[in-house]
Amino acid sequence: MGNPVSMGLHPWFLNDIEQQFSDLKRNASRSEVLAIGECGLDKLTAADWNLQLRAFQAQIQLADELQKPLIIHCVRAFNEVLAQLKHVSVPVIFHGVNNKWTHIEPVVKSGYYLSFGKSLLSSQPAIRDAFRKTPLEQVFLETDDMEIDVTEIYKIAGEVKSIPEKEIVLQLEKNFSHVFGL
C-alpha cells in the first residue's frame, strides 16, 4: 500500500464530471485510498449548483459501494448537504469546520464527525464554543494546507475543551480506528 490518501471531486474544480468521475471510480478502489472526498457543496464557488449536486450524489453512491468514508466540503450548504446524506451507510467527516454551534448542531445530531483545524487558532468565541460543545467522540483535528504542526492544534483543542492533550490524542485515535477500520 502506498501513502494513505482520500480522493474526490472537489466542488471548486468540476468541469467534465463524466470524465472526472470515471477517473475517480477507476482509482478509488485502490488500497491507499482510504476515503472519498473532499466532496460536497459550496454556495460561494462559481461552479454550477446542479453540477455540484450531480458530482456529490455520484460520490456518495461510490463511497457506499466501496464502503469508504466520505470527507465533506460544505460552505453555506449544511441543510442541502445533510439532505443528500440521509441514506449514506458510511462514516462522514465534515472537513475544515469553522462555524458556530447553530450551524453544526444538526451535523452532530446526525452522528457525523467534524474536523477542526485552523479555526481553533482564531480567538473567535463562537467557533471555540462550537468545538467545546461537539462531543470528542465525533471530532477530528487537521492542519489542512497550513504550515503548522498538528500538535499545535491538539494543544489548543485541549485548552478549549479543558482536558489534557493526551485525552484528546487517545480519543482521536479511537475515532480514526472506528472510521477507517485501521
CATH of the domain at 11: 3.20.20.140
The answer to whether the CB of 7 falls within 8 A of the CB of 39 is no
Residues 158 and 121 in one domain: yes
Backbone angles phi, psi at 131, to 5 degrees: -65, -45
Q: Which helix (H) or strand (E) holds 111?
A: none
- For residue 70, the enclosing domain spans 1-90
Residues 83 and 100 in one domain: no
Domain final residue pick, 55, 90, 125:
90
Residues 59 and 109 in one domain: no
The answer to whether the CB of 75 falls within 8 A of the CB of 99 is no
Residues 29 and 51 in one domain: yes
Residues 64 and 102 in one domain: no
Residues 125 and 74 in one domain: no
pLDDT value of residue 1: 63
Q: How many domains does the chain have?
A: 2
- Residue 23 is placed in which grid cell? 477517473
pLDDT value of residue 108: 97
DSSP string, 21-73: HHHHHHHHTSTTEEEEEEEEEETTSSS-HHHHHHHHHHHHHHHHHHT--EEEE
Residue among 105, 112, 24 at smallest CA distance from 61:
24
Domain final residue pick, 90, 118, 137:
90
Each residue's pLDDT, cut to its tens digit, for the chain (182 residues) gives: 679 999 999 999 999 999 999 999 999 999 999 999 999 999 999 999 999 999 999 999 999 999 999 999 999 999 999 999 999 999 999 999 999 999 999 999 999 999 999 899 887 899 999 999 999 999 999 998 888 899 999 999 999 999 999 999 999 999 999 999 87
Residues 73 and 142 in one domain: no
For residues 119 and 158, give the distance between their C-alpha atoms in angstroms, rounded to a whole number.
14
pLDDT value of residue 147: 87
Name the pTM for this structure. 0.95
Residues 173 and 120 in one domain: yes
pLDDT value of residue 2: 79
Residue among 6, 81, 17 at smallest CA distance from 47:
17
Residues 71 and 117 in one domain: no
Which residues lie below 8 Å from residue 68, measured CB to CB, with a gap of 6+?
28, 33, 34, 35, 36, 90
Backbone angles phi, psi at 72, to 5 degrees: -100, 130
3-state helix, strand, coil in the chain (%, to 5): 50, 20, 30
Residues 70 and 104 in one domain: no
